[in-house]
Amino acid sequence: MIDLGKMDFTTLFKGNLSAMAENMTGGRSYSGNNKMMESLLPMLGGQFNPVFRSLMLLYQMIGSNLGIDPTLILTLVGFFWAANRVVRQVYGAVFRLVQENFMSNIHITSTDEIYTHMMKWLALQPLMASSRSLTAETVSKTAWEEEEELEALQTRTIAGSGGGNTEYLNFSNQEAKAPPRYVPAVGVHGFWFKGRYFRLQRKLQNVFDGEANYGTFRKEEDLIVSCFGRSPEPIKELLQFVKEFYYQDHYARTTIKRPSPAPMRRYGGRYNWSQVANRPVRPMRTVVLDPKQKGQVLADMNEYLHPATPRWYANRGIPLRRGYLFYGPPGTGKTSLSFALAGVFGLDIFVISLLEPTLTEEDLGTLFNSLPRRCVVLLEDIDTAGLSRADDEVDAAPSDGKGNKSPKGDREESSKKNNKDDWKVSDLARALKKEAKDDKKGISLSGLLNAIDGVASQEGRILVMTTNKPESLDEALIRPGRVDLQVGFTNATPSQATELFQRMYEADGASPAKRIDGHLAPPTNPAPPITVNGGTSSTSSSSTASPTKSSFSDKPLSPEAAAEAEKKHQFDAEELRRIAAEFGALIPDGLFSPAEIQGFLLKRKKDPRRALKETAEWVEGMRLQKENRTKVLKVQ
């Protein structure tokens, strides 16, 4: 080892400096530097360090083979690095000066709905799609969106089993054809809007969330939109345009939302509700209901939603709320009327299930307070929510079973339960269900009433409750002020069955009509002929639908067969009315729900004559099924 304490550094550096001076004057700078490095090598321990010796070997190879002084290369690299740092700092200082004095900006947090509007619009901009920094997102389209695309018709077919000509649709390549959506990645981007340049910056930041039992950090995004000028009006105009663009087809669709999962609801804002569906508006004429009742509900809701109504309610000290109770047997159209009303008035539907295990009374109040001013809140099957008063639960606790049992009977029952050999699977399932029911707190009646019309409850919304058993509801829940209008639904009458039949088949022969958005609807293709193993099927009352010859088949029918099949399914409006009247006459009054009749017609949706021919047999089979109280359908 070299003793650095006894080493003469003065002699060493004097020799190296003199050698460097001679090399500079004589043009031998590399050899001088090499001698200096060789002198410093023992000092730095390079003779024992393989990495340092490898670097020295590379240093010598560059100097000897290329004839370039490595020191010069290192100097140039250091110069460009320092110049880059200086330029970045100068640019940052100048840009901050310009941004603070000559630019306007608006911040958008990821918890606000405007963030969703902005990102959807940016994903459709060609300039953004060609950016070099993008984020790919998987977008799943709904069935309604795919229906309107011509690309959906390009579907593969596979041959059916049995050796016939029947082919079936195959959607194995559907996901492969769905392109991803590209949005700007985290960073700075630029785009143009109405001849003005805008700057977009996506910035992620960690936010401490202390609302949970233990503090956690969550990522939240800050979207900054900037433009040149001291007025933010151009940015406001852009945001207004983006919002209108997002809702441009909102009047033709109904948005359905449900409460978000419990971990997401802690963040508040738009995280309280999650969109679960976006369906086309349901026409009011498709709801099977007495016209008088239908008109009464429409008039009442229209009066409530009038812009002058809030002032009228405020002047008289009446809370601005409206509640409806739709009651009747299952399948009579209670939920359908709710969707149709939301479509008529252009409102969103917020569906709340009171049986949600993670939903507490505090969450219910938060959800109601985060509702928009005008919307429809749907509480389905309110009679099955298990709402009860606290005193009722206490009174009902001792009486578990039918009648009072003697102590001896209780001891025998207890002894029987304690014997594990006598337990059955049904007893175990019943015990587990009871234990789970006891552990679940759920929503009490008082908690629901406070959320509906409490002191701090939201005003301006429309509450719709549906039930199959109105008599089982608590009087406090359906009193006037909470339920302002009750609408009763019944099973289908012959006239309603006639209306349902005519509506089911009238669109097949109709000419292309305009959609709500003003565009022509896609023409309705004629019904393809029904073929089974290459032959045309005869009309039968089979309980299973026959395989259908796909219109996408590579083996089209001959012109004669196609013309004959099309002629078979053609009918005019007069014939349809006659068939519908005959069908309605065969339906007993109040025996079948509209859903049951619609299910029967859907299996024969291309042939009204076949539906009429098989109606009598279906009615008789369904009548026997209802008399025997069996859930197995013999006819369909």
Q: How many CB atoms lie within 10 A of CB 277?
A: 15
**Please, are residues 603 and 540 in contact by the beta-carbon 8 Å criterion?**
no
First and final C-alpha spacing in the chain: 99
**Please, are residues 334 and 291 in contact by the beta-carbon 8 Å criterion?**
no
416-444 b/e (C-beta count within 10 Å ≥ 16 → b): eeeeeeeeeeeeeeeeeeeeeeeeeebbb
Tokens found for residue 545: 């639908």
- pLDDT confidence of residue 220: 82
Query: Which residues 6+ apart lie within 8 Å of 507 measured at CB?
Result: 524
**Please, are residues 625 and 596 in contact by the beta-carbon 8 Å criterion?**
no
Residue ranges in 278-350 assigned as alpha helix (H): 291-304, 309-315, 334-345
- pLDDT tens track for 194-204: 999 999 999 88
- pLDDT confidence of residue 600: 93
Find which of 6-10, 123-127, 340-344 is predicted with most confidence, using mean pLDDT. Answer: 340-344
**Please, are residues 104 and 227 in contact by the beta-carbon 8 Å criterion?**
yes
Tokens found for residue 621: 């089979």
In Å, what is the CA distance from 350 to each residue of 87, 256, 324, 340, 484?
A: 54, 6, 15, 14, 19
- pLDDT tens track for 13-59: 455 445 444 544 444 445 555 555 566 556 555 555 676 667 777 77
φ/ψ region of 16 (left if φ > 0, alpha if ψ in -120 to 50, else beta) reads: alpha
- Give, for 623, the enclosing helix (H) or strand (E): helix 615-628
Quote the mean pLDDT of the chain.
Answer: 76
- pLDDT confidence of residue 545: 37
Residue 488 has pLDDT above 50, yes or no: yes
Residue ranges in 148-285 assigned as alpha helix (H): 174-177, 233-246, 262-265
Query: At 145, is the pLDDT very low, low, confident or very high (cuts 50, 70, 90)?
Result: low
Among 77-86, 183-192, 455-464, 576-585, the minimum mean pLDDT is found in 455-464
**Please, are residues 322 and 540 in contact by the beta-carbon 8 Å criterion?**
no
Q: What domains appear along the chain, each with residue ranges and CATH number? A: 4-68 (no CATH), 101-250 (no CATH), 259-392+440-488 (3.40.50.300), 494-523+577-628 (no CATH)
In Å, what is the CA distance from 575 to each residue of 201, 507, 582?
A: 64, 14, 11
**For 38, how many CA atoms within 13 A lie in the half-sphere containing its CB?**
9
Tokens found for residue 52: 């340092």
* Helix pair angle (70-102, 50-65), 10° resolution: 100
3-state helix, strand, coil in the chain (%, to 5): 45, 15, 35
- pLDDT tens track for 253-280: 899 999 988 877 877 777 789 888 888 8
In Å, what is the CA distance from 388 to each residue of 448, 451, 463, 478?
A: 10, 15, 20, 14
Residue 308 has pLDDT above 90, yes or no: yes
**Please, are residues 366 and 265 in contact by the beta-carbon 8 Å criterion?**
yes
Q: Which of 380, 138, 110 is nearest to 270 (CA)?
A: 110
SS3 per-residue string spanning 24-78: HHHCCHHHHHHHHHHHHHHHCCCCCCHHHHHHHHHHHHHHHHCCCCHHHHHHHHH
**pTM recorded for the entire structure:** 0.68
Residue ranges in 370-424 assigned as alpha helix (H): 390-396, 407-418
**Please, are residues 199 and 216 in contact by the beta-carbon 8 Å criterion?**
no
Residue 65 has pLDDT above 50, yes or no: yes
